Amino acid sequence: MTQPRRPLTEAERLDWLRLIRTENVGPITFHRLLEQYGSAGKALDALPDLARRGGRAKPLRVASKAEADREMEANRRLGTRLLCACEPDYPEPLAAVDDAPPVISVAGHAHLLKRRAIAIVGARNASLNAKKFAESLARDLGAAGLLVVSGLARGIDTAAHAGSLASGTAAVLAGGIDIVYPPENEPLYRDILAQGVAVAECAVGTQPQARHFPRRNRLISGLSLGVLVVEAALRSGSLITARMALEQGREVMAVPGSPLDPRCHGTNDLLRQGATLVERADDVLRSIEGLRPPAVSERERDLFRPAGPVEPDESELSRARAIVLENLGPSPVTIDELVRGCQLSAPVVLTVVLELELAGRVQRLPGHQVSLT
């Protein structure tokens, strides 16, 4: 039976923060470590040996207590909250995502994250008509009681936030909770903190980099019942958000546009693939009618186990390491495929993959895939 969610103690929160800030520990690896060892504190103790067994020569850089303390104090100074994925105030739709961030910073009115939400995204260089449409649509959806989620980018994101300021809007940042990008949206961000809510996965002070934006996009879709793309080119980052929405089991919607405008080719292609066509707020409301936020995944039952599963025997692991490495390559394979190909038990394969990832020899990819680095 799933254990109830509960607030962490300050000591537990510190351990969670240290673990997710440790080198080579991403969200999926974090949750796997929690399943294996039962607590973040025990996982921290096990990290050096796991990395060594995975073939790492130099010591793994584990985030220190002092570093985590400084980050927690920085959040306190900003008036922001650090929420962990097992806590009651952590947004449930996001907690249901396989790679949910273990720790997020939340600024502004955190209670808004309990509302049913819809994401509106699109082109940064959007047309005037598209921005006006996005703002109007966000205003209507906010009036219908939805939280409008977007990424604080130029163009459609800015219009979506502006339209839903009065009713409630959520800005998901690519960098730290204190870093506004683009800088010209600083006044809008102040308004969002006063009337809405902001969420960030990265540590305070982190400047957004290109690799942060796809990670940010999975939070935008993860917080929402569905994603509406208003205007997007074929190689737009908004299409990444739409793809992540599909992987997370969310609704995908798009606004049709002129075939003569390259900024509409991506949205028109989404419609061609089966996305819901949206011309007014009622289309969105019908699309999500009856939908509830996704249930928290089965992983939650492992968040507070007193002890993890019995670790495979070392002799078994020693034999398995060569087999797993032989079956891995630069091309991604799913964990299920790897288990079948190696003809080993899932716990053994998962443990070896965990060792290799902490050693920096394996990387995790979307869709439960792994590959050699």
Task: Provide the pLDDT for residue 65.
Answer: 98
Tell me which residue has tokens 């040996």. 49
Query: Confidence class of residue 245 from pLDDT cuts 50, 70 and 90?
Result: very high
> Candidates 3.20.20.80, 3.40.50.450, 3.40.640.10, 3.40.50.720; correct CATH number of 106-287?
3.40.50.450
237-252 core/surface letters (b: 16 or more CB in 10 A; e: else) = bbbbbbbbbbbbebbb
CA gap 74, 13 in Å, rounded: 15
CA gap 351, 362 in Å, rounded: 12
Do residues 234 and 272 touch, judged by C-beta distance below 8 A?
Answer: no
CA gap 309, 120 in Å, rounded: 41
SS3 for 49?
A: helix
Q: pLDDT tens-digit profile of 342-371?
A: 999 999 999 999 999 999 999 998 778 999
- CA quadruple 241, 246, 250, 255: dihedral sign: positive
Do residues 80 and 59 touch, judged by C-beta distance below 8 A?
Answer: no
Query: Confidence class of residue 2 from pLDDT cuts 50, 70 and 90?
Result: very low
pLDDT at 303 over 60: no
pLDDT at 295 over 90: no
Mean pLDDT, the chain, whole residue set:
93
The DSSP code for 173 is E
Tell me which residue has tokens 């936020």. 293
Query: Confidence class of residue 310 from pLDDT cuts 50, 70 and 90?
Result: low
pLDDT at 264 over 80: yes
Average pLDDT over residues 329-341: 95
| Nearest partner of 14 among 76, 78, 97, 99, judged by Cα | 76
SS3 content of the chain, % helix, strand, coil (to 5): 45, 15, 40
Do residues 117 and 170 touch, judged by C-beta distance below 8 A?
Answer: yes
Do residues 175 and 138 touch, judged by C-beta distance below 8 A?
Answer: no
Average pLDDT over residues 285-297: 79
Task: Provide the pLDDT for residue 292.
Answer: 78
CA gap 229, 180 in Å, rounded: 23
Task: Provide the pLDDT for residue 296.
Answer: 60
Query: In sequence order, what are the residues at sequence separation of 6 or more whose Cβ sits closer than 8 angstroms to the Cβ of residue 159?
Result: 126, 130, 131, 132, 134, 135, 138
Do residues 309 and 33 touch, judged by C-beta distance below 8 A?
Answer: no
CA gyration radius, the chain: 21
Q: pLDDT tens-digit profile of 155-194?
A: 999 999 999 999 999 999 999 999 999 999 999 999 999 9
Average pLDDT over residues 311-317: 83
Q: Which residue blocks in 126-260 are alpha helix, DSSP H? A: 128-143, 156-164, 186-195, 212-222, 237-247
pLDDT at 306 over 50: no
Query: Confidence class of residue 307 from pLDDT cuts 50, 70 and 90?
Result: very low
Task: Provide the pLDDT for residue 284.
Answer: 98
Task: Provide the pLDDT for residue 60.
Answer: 95
Domain ranges of the chain: 106-287
Sheet with 276-277: strands ordered across = 81-84, 103-108, 197-200, 169-173, 147-150, 117-121, 226-229, 251-254, 276-277
Q: What is the pTM of this model?
A: 0.92
The DSSP code for 202 is S
Q: pLDDT tens-digit profile of 208-217?
A: 999 999 999 9
Average pLDDT over residues 233-237: 93
Task: Provide the pLDDT for residue 304.
Answer: 41
Helix (H) or strand (E) holding 117: strand 117-121
